[in-house]
Amino acid sequence: MILNAPAKVNLHLEVKALQSGGYHEILSVVHSVSLFDRVHIRSLKENNALRLFCDPPLPGGQNIAARAVQTFRSRCGLHSGVEVRIQKRIPVGAGLGGGSSDAAAVLYGLNKLFAAALSPEQLDEAAAALGSDVSFFLHGPAALMSGRGEKIENLIPREDFILVLVYPGFPIATDEAYRWVDEEEEHNLRSCSPEDLKVQFEEKAPGTWKFFNSFQSTI
C-alpha cells in the first residue's frame, strides 16, 4: 500500500496554560496542504518483524511511524511482520506535522492492509496515544483542534487561498518552543472563541482573517 501523508499548517494557534499532566491546551485552525511524504507499507512473512526505512534518515533515528506500528499491533492483536518505507519531503522540525502525518498514514494503512476493522473511534484513541497532531491527519483536511490536540471538529476546507511556505533551514524542537512561550508573560493575553474562529474560517475572506500564532513572537 502506498499513501500520501500531507503536511499541515496552523492558520491559527493559541497556546493556553500548562496543564497538570505536562501538556498545554491549544486552540487551533489546522489545514492540510499539498506537500506530502510518501509512505509505503507492506506485510512480511516473519511474525512480529518490523522494518522501517526513511529517506533521508531522521536525526537520531527516532521515528513515530515505528511507534504507530507497535501501537496498532497492541490494540488489535496483530502479529504479522510489517515494513514501512517513508520518502520524506516535509522538513523535520518545521511545525508542518510530517512525523504525525506519517504515523496517521501508518495507522490508516495497516487497518486497511490487514482488514483489522478498527473503528474510527479506536483509530482516534491510537492516534491520541501517539501525539497531539496525529488525530488531525486521520480526519483532515481542515479542522478546529482543541484540548492537547486530540479534540477534532471538522471544518469545511478552503481552496481560495495560496500559501508560501518558507523553511529557514534549521529545526525548532517542539518542547523548546513551548518552554519559550511559557517564559513569555504576555503570550496568553490574546484569545479567540472557538465559535469566532469557525465563523472566520468558513465564512470570511482569507484576507480578513484575524488569526495569530502564539509561537510567532518567541520564535
Active site amino acids = 8, 133
For residue 101, what are the contacts with CB-CB under 8 A and spacing of at least 6? 5, 6, 7, 8, 37, 90, 133, 137
- The grid cell for 61 is 533515528
User: If we measure between CA atoms, which residue out of 133, 105, 137, 138 comes closest to residue 122?
Assistant: 138
Sign, CA torsion 8/11/12/17:
positive
Name the residue type at position 97.
G
Q: What angle (nearest 5°) sits at the alpha carbon of residue 2, between those of residues 77 and 171?
A: 90
